[in-house]
Amino acid sequence: MIIDRMENSAKYACLGSRIQNALTFLQENDFSQSAPGRYELDGAALYYLVQEYTPKPVAAGVPEAHRNYIDIQYVAQGEEFIGYADLSQMQAGEYLAEKDFQQAQGKMDLVRVPAGSFMILYPNDAHMPGLTTGAEGPVRKVVVKVKFK
């Protein structure tokens, strides 16, 4: 797991061309007027989801992990907590291959992700996004899915 501010994103070019392309894309675009939905950058290898929602209480969150994609979760507006734990420290549930989704259970640390920040989550990173910090207002987030395998 990596968390940082978007202005520092160039430091992560060493993580591969797909991650570099995703971070450059996030840095160069204004998502304030983008309609929620799924958009392709490079087919199934690199795509993104624009999301807008009111963060939920921690008790309503569901820990998850993915096997085939790295998530880059960029908060464009608002702020949220994202729960985090190494998947090896969690009780992993059934893996749904068609959704690249694995539910997990266990203790997670809460990481505050304010506007202008991003979090890179690898397949071993269980995460629980969209949690309220108590701040008012909606969150506008862009999640870039980067093919891992």
**Bridge-based pairing state of the strands 117-121 and 2-5:** antiparallel
149 pLDDT higher than 80: no
For the stretch 65-101, pLDDT in tens is: 999 999 999 999 999 999 999 999 999 999 999 999 9
Q: Which residue has the tokens 């108590």?
A: 134
Rounded to two decimals, what is the model's pTM?
0.95
pLDDT at residue number 123: 96
Residue 8's Cα: distance from chain center in Å? 17
pLDDT at residue number 42: 94
Segment (H or E) for 51: strand 46-53
pLDDT at residue number 2: 98
